């Protein structure tokens, strides 16, 4: 039967403001538990974190440098990827979705998130794109956004982080995403000044459109 897009409900988008990392993680877990229990609780959480370093499931921890010297807490989480930093000036997105509704393909899902950020940045006049062999969103050789997703029983968690404004000083303490010599950039540095909350509103329709294209 042909799908009627008017009957497909988009995930709720929730702007949480600035929250500690543990609170954001708990909100993800609560929504995942509701979906696992059969509730209709899909959501895209948009927020800004207090300073924190995270690393995914990997035996290679070299991207952290000396963990004891990090200027903010370190959290090990259930996503792919190496070390990254979250903090003020960065928009973080956690889509909590039933991936069986979105093609049940983690690679395609990750690329859809990537494309939404590329499209949103280009709409601001920024020449955002992909780089061969590397995950994330780039402006030439400068990294604008990072993506690290996870799934449990085909329910997604974690997601993306795009740099919006401010010093983003935490990246200097690590090797971001394990890429030596990478330069991190932001919308502000590329000429598009806005607050994190304004960025959340700007990128929401691009996220919704990219995810809608995956619906089955």
Confidence of residue 2 (pLDDT cuts 50, 70, 90): very low
- Please give the model's pTM, rounded to 2 decimal places: 0.92
- Compute how many other C-beta atoms are within 10 angstroms of the C-beta atom of residue 210: 20
Q: Percentage of the chain with pLDDT > 70? A: 95
Domain that holds residue 24: 5-212
Segment 130-168, tens digit of pLDDT: 999 999 999 999 999 999 899 999 999 999 999 999 998
Range among 5-9, 81-85, 168-172 rated most confident: 168-172
Which residues belong to the active site?
177
Q: How many whole angstroms separate alpha carbon 157 and alpha carbon 67?
A: 25
Which H or E element spans position 117?
helix 106-122
Q: How many whole angstroms separate alpha carbon 100 and alpha carbon 120?
A: 26
Q: What angle (nearest 5°) sits at the alpha carbon of residue 121, between those of residues 189 and 210?
A: 150
Residue pointed to by tokens 């709720």: 12
Weakest mean pLDDT among 67-76, 153-162, 172-181, 193-202:
172-181
> Tokens for 49?
């974190």
202/55: higher pLDDT: 202
Segment 41-71, tens digit of pLDDT: 899 999 999 999 988 877 677 888 888 889 9
Confidence of residue 3 (pLDDT cuts 50, 70, 90): very low
What is the count of structural domains for the chain?
A: 1
**CATH number assigned to the domain comprising residue 133:** 3.30.930.10
Cα 102 from chain centroid? 17
* Sheet strands (E) in the chain: 12-19, 43-49, 52-55, 74-76, 84-86, 90-96, 128-131, 134-139, 142-152, 155-163, 183-184
Q: If you average pLDDT over every residue of the chain, what do you get? A: 91
């Amino acid at each position: 039967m042909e799908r009627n897009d008017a009957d497909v409900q988009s995930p709720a988008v929730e702007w949480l403001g600035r929250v500690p990392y543990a609170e954001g993680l708990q909100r993800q877990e609560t929504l995942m538990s509701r979906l696992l229990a059969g509730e209709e609780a899909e959501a895209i959480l948009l927020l800004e974190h207090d300073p924190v370093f995270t690393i995914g499931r990997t035996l290679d921890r070299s991207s952290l440098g000396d963990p004891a010297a990090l200027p903010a807490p370190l959290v090990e989480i259930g996503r792919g990827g190496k070390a990254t930093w979250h903090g003020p000036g960065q928009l973080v997105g956690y889509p909590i979705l039933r991936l069986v509704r979105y093609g049940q393909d983690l690679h395609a899902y990750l690329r859809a998130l990537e494309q939404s950020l590329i499209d949103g940045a280009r709409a601001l006049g920024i020449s955002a794109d992909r780089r061969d062999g590397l995950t994330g969103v780039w402006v030439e050789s400068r990294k604008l956004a990072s993506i690290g997703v996870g799934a449990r029983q085909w329910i997604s968690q974690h997601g993306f982080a795009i740099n919006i404004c401010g010093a983003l000083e935490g990246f200097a303490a690590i090797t971001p995403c394990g890429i030596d010599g990478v330069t991190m950039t932001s919308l502000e540095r590329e000429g598009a000044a806005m607050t994190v909350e304004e960025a959340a509103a700007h990128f929401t329709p691009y996220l919704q459109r990219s995810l809608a294209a995956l619906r089955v």
